[in-house]
Amino acid sequence: LRPPLIRRWFSSFLNWKISLMQHHCRLSQRIFTASVSLSTTKPLPERVKIVEVGPRDGLQNEKTIVPAEVKIRLIDMLSEAGLPVIEATSFVSPKWVPQMADQEEVMRGIQRKPGVNYPVLTPNLKGYRAAVTAGAKEVAIFGAASELFSKKNINCSVEESLQRFEEVMKAAKQEGIPVRGYISCVLGCPYEGKVSPVKVAEVAKRLYSMGCYEISLGDTIGVGTPGGMAEMLEAVKKEVPIHALAVHCHDTYGQALANILVALQNGVSVVDSSVAGLGGCPYAQGASGNVATEDVIYMLNGLGIHTGVDLPKLMDAGSYICRSLNRRTSSKVAQATCKL
Amino acid sequence: MGNAPIAVKHCLNYGALMGDSPWMPWLLQEKKGPDIHKFPDFVKIVEVGPRDGLQNEKEMVPTEVKIQLIDMLSQTGLSVIEATSFVSSKWVAQMADHTEVLRGINKLPHVRYPVLTPNLQGFQAAVEAGASEVAVFGSASETFSKRNINCSIEESMRRFEQVITAAKQAGIPVRGYVSCTLGCPYEGDIQPAQVKKVVKRLLELGCYEVSLGDTTGAGTAGSMAAMLRAVTTEVPVHALAVHCHDTYGQALANILTALQMGVSVVDSSVAGLGGCPYAKGAGGNVSTEDVVYMLHGLGIETGVDLSKVIEAGEFICQALNRPTSSKVAQATNKSKPSLSRSD
């Protein structure tokens, strides 16, 4: 029975009061959000750890064989650029991967910057022993989320491949050496096609329970898109805590930065990348592979996310290795800044 | 609650207020903002390869090739293809054959073929040549405006007013472009408030849609979000499009951000045609193939047949004697599953 005039007055008074409160709410949101939010319920991490895989994953997939001194100089320049983790080499048999034949020389030759980790790949116990003898303080093992990929690549099932790593895990645990796990084909397989997020979660859980401190989820053929990335992370998060997950995106279809952005929005704060985008894709001849560290850092800087990386020094390292390889950089940031 | 800032207390009180007073909403005006956690169901792609793309390619392309490119693109399902520019041929030699191209293409009934018309003279020539949609091109940066089209932003708006008035009389829709929305090659950072001002002006003058261009490609997800947040406080998001350049590899991440903020129109260029005039040798327009790949992967409909776009891209790259800038095209071209060992 309220007369219309009073109702109108009351309504506009309340509107004014509520808008004042909303204004204060918005202000307080800004006070409590440290880094840029793209949405109000998915804040981005304040800091992201970059795992630089150029010297290993990158060079391993480059045709030109690069001498040990060049590899050592590259790693030293990357250390100067402020990268916290630099995958140095792989203790794999040289007859399989000739690029990594100088593994010991590289390991002993690099200048270890305090606070920087230099993990190495160890495909088996023999490689692990050689790595530790050469001074490695962190190692990495790998599995696949696709059975067919595992069979075609290393001639055994995923479970069998993980069992082979049990000995490495045991030795590493005894000697207090942290182990990182890699999973390939998390967003698609060159043989199986679509890969189930549940399978990825299973393999991630296995690696985590075996003792890996971090699991790097690799979009091996770069076919993933942001939707698939979100779906896969949703499944994996149920089995492995988010702080132990990293993304290793390939830029073969140009989707890497968009996929990384979505991963960050879903709580991931560790990103693998390769200086100058070294390392083509072995499944699509001539196509690109690893995402370029320069381009990732550029995006993270623009989002106000702290990485500790000095972009100009990183670009110096990138142009150095490209000159040595006699190839053009795959980093768009490097291409753009060089010619300005 | 004692030590919490006043703002927080107000927030908590607001929630309590709404909870305790269920009759509140029908008294108040409920404003529903865009839901930024959902992607749009459908995204309209505006293909700018034949105009913006070719205009920034050094190789001169004969008219027949331009016509064939546009005809191939018409078959892909794209609903908007920017055909040419009615600019003076002494400024842009590549677009000298604008009348011939517009008359020569096979116009499909469900496809629109807008053309650029920088002034009234260009507009009239466009209409005579059969144009049924035009576009005008402003800038958020004063310096860029002066260097690019030799006049201030305000003067350019007055020129556009003439075009838009004539277009309104002729029943021809006009699209607006704003360049340098995320940075200017001369001024550096551009204030989002300045972008908002120019966008509003174009919409008030009568443009049905305004395309926000990251001309230098220097924008990131962070600056895109900040710019859109500012612009959408006074401009409806459905009237906005994004025109991202991939010069720093940020285009897809920027487009993703725009989609998350409600934008549902994206400009792109087949094969990533059109380098950046401000960074020699660097990339320019984002490639349509890569955008469509991402959108389809997200379950967003575009109506576009990706394989046909890739074909059109291969055609124009052969004609230009240059490799494609599209990563999807590069990957699918050479893709033969190798059975060789990887890591």
Contact list, B14 vs chain A (CB under 8 Å): 18, 21-22, 25
Q: Which of B11, B17, B221 sits opposite A303 (nearest CB)?
A: B221
| Residue A142 contacts B where some CB pair is shorter than 8 Å | yes
The whole-number pLDDT of residue B95 equals: 92
Token pair 């003067």 in the structure block, residue: B155
Catalytic residue among A189, A249, A281, A322: A281
Reported as a single tens digit per residue, the pLDDT across A217-273 is: 999 999 999 999 999 999 999 999 999 999 999 999 999 999 999 999 999 999 999
Reported as a single tens digit per residue, the pLDDT across B269-323 is: 999 999 777 666 677 999 999 999 999 999 999 999 999 999 999 999 999 999 9
Q: Which of B10, B29, B298 sits opposite A225 (nearest CB)?
A: B298
Reported as a single tens digit per residue, the pLDDT across B188-203 is: 999 999 999 999 999 9
Scan residues 191-210 of A and list those with Cβ closer than 8 Å to B. Answer: 191
Better-scored residue on pLDDT, A107 or B32: A107
Angstroms from B37 CA to nearest CA on chain A = 7
The whole-number pLDDT of residue B31 equals: 37
Q: What is the ipTM of this complex?
A: 0.84
| Residue B230 contacts A where some CB pair is shorter than 8 Å | no
Contact list, A257 vs chain B (CB under 8 Å): 249-250, 252-253
Q: What is the domain count for chain B?
A: 1
The whole-number pLDDT of residue A63 equals: 87
The whole-number pLDDT of residue A192 equals: 92
Q: Which two tokens stand for residue B294?
A: 């991402």
Reported as a single tens digit per residue, the pLDDT across B150-173 is: 899 999 999 999 999 999 999 999
Contact list, A258 vs chain B (CB under 8 Å): 252-253, 255-256, 294
Average pLDDT over residues B109-123: 96
Confidence grade of residue A23 (pLDDT, cut at 50, 70, 90): low
- The single-letter code of the amino acid at B234 is E
CA distances from B146 to A268, B150, B279 (A): 44, 4, 20
Q: How far is the C-alpha of A51 from the C-alpha of A43, rounded, in Å?
A: 22
Residue B30 has pLDDT above 60, yes or no: no
The whole-number pLDDT of residue B260 equals: 96
Residue A288 has pLDDT above 90, yes or no: no
B159: domain CATH number?
Answer: 3.20.20.70
Considering the domain boundaries, does residue B185 fall inside one? yes
Reported as a single tens digit per residue, the pLDDT across B242-262 is: 999 999 999 999 999 999 999
Q: How far is the C-alpha of B37 from the C-alpha of A15, rounded, in Å?
A: 27
Average pLDDT, chain A: 90
Confidence grade of residue A15 (pLDDT, cut at 50, 70, 90): low
Nearest residue in chain A measured CA to CA from B298: A227
Full domain range(s) for residue B79: 44-323
SS3 for B61? coil
> Considering chain B, what percentage of its residues have pLDDT values greater than 90?
78
Considering the domain boundaries, does residue B26 fall inside one? no
The whole-number pLDDT of residue A147 equals: 94
| Residue A225 contacts B where some CB pair is shorter than 8 Å | yes
Contact (Cβ atoms closer than 8 angstroms) between residue A111 and residue A79 = yes
Reported as a single tens digit per residue, the pLDDT across A134-180 is: 999 999 999 999 999 999 888 889 999 999 899 999 999 999 999 99
SS3 for B308? helix
Contact (Cβ atoms closer than 8 angstroms) between residue A47 and residue A305 = yes
The continuous run of DSSP H or E covering B174 comes out as: strand B174-179
Nearest residue in chain A measured CA to CA from B259: A38
Residue B90 has pLDDT above 90, yes or no: no
Residue A286 has pLDDT above 80, yes or no: no
Considering the domain boundaries, does residue B186 fall inside one? yes
Residue A277 has pLDDT above 80, yes or no: yes
| Residue B3 contacts A where some CB pair is shorter than 8 Å | no
Considering the domain boundaries, does residue B330 fall inside one? no
Considering the domain boundaries, does residue B13 fall inside one? no
Considering the domain boundaries, does residue B329 fall inside one? no
| Residue A178 contacts B where some CB pair is shorter than 8 Å | no
Q: How far is the C-alpha of B329 from the C-alpha of A254, rounded, in Å?
A: 10
The whole-number pLDDT of residue A295 equals: 98
Nearest to B156 by CA among B120, B192, B128: B120
Considering the domain boundaries, does residue B316 fall inside one? yes
Considering the domain boundaries, does residue B89 fall inside one? yes
Q: Which of B17, B279, B290 sits opposite A254 (nearest CB)?
A: B290
What length does chain B have? Answer: 343
Catalogue the active-site residues of B. 276
The continuous run of DSSP H or E covering B179 comes out as: strand B174-179
Strand boundaries in chain B, DSSP class E = 44-47, 80-81, 84-85, 115-116, 134-139, 174-179, 209-214, 240-244, 265-268
Nearest residue in chain A measured CA to CA from B5: A28
